[in-house]
């Protein structure tokens, strides 16, 4: 199995994180280890490469960022875990479709371990529980490597989702682990999901400290 560095962040702003993902991808060599970044963002709407501005219905005070991942518009905010995957997919022996399937199946397996029956959809990437979306997915592949990744709703306020058409789907209902009766600490939930994800991708997970670019906003600002 190949080793992957797992970096946990309490909170990180979207823009510097996105730039760091691109920098890592641009600077990769065939020997660069894969990395998973596990984090939470302040409130932000992100528009993917296929994103249509009209799917942002009423952003209000939440910033909108045009980004370079696949897909339409989504929301990140407190109570949602984001996992960014910086992976050499050629080294892993995966194509783009295989990568998406592996991520979706990992989330479905993680939820099944919690007693929740979930499924993916051919027409809309992500993971759904009885029609309500609990996890979103968007990737970018460049230089044979992925960045961006997945987001799963733990115990977040769902009202900002009503300001957009999630992933371009009008009226798409959303749900959270908490709404489904699952009450895990953030740390436990993230470690369990990373364990399932790493195993399915054929990776040996090794926890690593936050990188130099990271400046914990908790130390300089307060909400």
- Tell me, what's the pLDDT at 23? 96
pLDDT in tens, 171-221: 899 999 999 999 999 999 999 999 999 999 999 999 999 988 886 544 333
167 included as an active-site residue = yes
* Mean pLDDT, residues 20-49 taken together: 96
Any domain includes 28? yes
- Tell me, what's the pLDDT at 49? 87
pLDDT in tens, 106-157: 999 999 999 999 999 988 889 999 999 999 999 999 989 999 999 999 999 9
Left if phi > 0, otherwise alpha if psi is -120 to 50, otherwise beta: which for 195? alpha
Q: Angle at CA 153, nearest 5°, toward 148 and 154? A: 125
Between CA 3 and CA 182 the distance in angstroms is 30
pLDDT at 102 over 70: yes
Q: Any idea of the CA torsion for 168, 171, 174, 180, to the nearest 10 degrees?
A: -150
- Tell me, what's the pLDDT at 222? 33
Which residues make up each annotated binding site for substrate? 69-76, 136-138, 149-151
Catalytic residue among 167, 174, 196, 205: 167
pLDDT at 22 over 50: yes
- Tell me, what's the pLDDT at 208? 95
Any domain includes 218? no
Contacts of 220 (CB under 8 A, 6+ apart): none
Residue 52 sits in a domain whose CATH number is 3.30.930.10
What pairing do the DSSP bridges indicate for beta strands 80-88 and 34-39? antiparallel
Which residues make up each annotated binding site? 69-76, 136-138, 149-151
Question: SS3 helix, strand, coil % of the chain, rounded to 5?
Answer: 30, 30, 40
Any domain includes 222? no
Q: Provide the residue range defining the domain that includes 175.
A: 2-212
pLDDT at 11 over 90: yes
Any domain includes 81? yes
pLDDT at 6 over 90: yes
Any domain includes 219? no
- Tell me, what's the pLDDT at 124? 83
CB-CB contact of 16 with 9 (8 Å): no
Any domain includes 217? no
Return the closest-CA partner of residue 152 out of 103, 82, 86.
82
Between CA 120 and CA 143 the distance in angstroms is 27
- Tell me, what's the pLDDT at 1? 66
Largest CA distance in the chain: 46
Judge if pTM exceeds 0.85. yes
Any domain includes 223? no
Contacts of 61 (CB under 8 A, 6+ apart): none
Q: Quickly count: other Cβ atoms within 10 Å of residue 24's Cβ.
A: 18
Q: How many domains does the chain have?
A: 1
Q: Where does residue 50 rank: exposed (0-12), middle (13-18), buried (19+ CB within 10 A)? A: middle
């Amino acid at each position: 199995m190949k080793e992957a560095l797992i970096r946990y962040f309490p909170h990180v702003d979207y823009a510097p994180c996105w730039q760091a993902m691109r920098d890592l991808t641009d600077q990769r060599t065939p020997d660069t280890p894969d990395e998973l970044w596990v984090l939470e963002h302040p409130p932000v709407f992100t528009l993917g490469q296929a994103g249509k501005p009209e799917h942002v219905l009423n952003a209000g005070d939440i910033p909108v960022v045009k980004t370079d991942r696949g897909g339409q518009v989504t929301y990140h905010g407190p109570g949602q875990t984001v996992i960014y995957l910086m992976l050499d997919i050629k080294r892993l022996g995966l194509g783009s479709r295989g990568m998406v399937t592996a991520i979706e199946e990992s989330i479905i397996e993680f939820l099944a371990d919690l007693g929740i029956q979930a499924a993916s959809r051919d027409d809309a990437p992500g993971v759904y529980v009885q029609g309500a979306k609990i996890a979103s997915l968007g990737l970018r592949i460049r230089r044979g490597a992925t960045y961006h990744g997945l987001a799963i709703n733990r115990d977040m306020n769902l009202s900002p989702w009503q300001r957009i058409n999630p992933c371009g789907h009008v009226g798409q209902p959303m749900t959270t682990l908490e709404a489904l009766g699952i009450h895990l600490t953030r740390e436990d939930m993230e470690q369990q999901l990373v364990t399932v994800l790493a195993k399915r991708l054929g990776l040996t997970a090794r926890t690593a400290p936050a990188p130099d670019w990271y400046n914990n906003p908790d130390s300089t600002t307060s909400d």
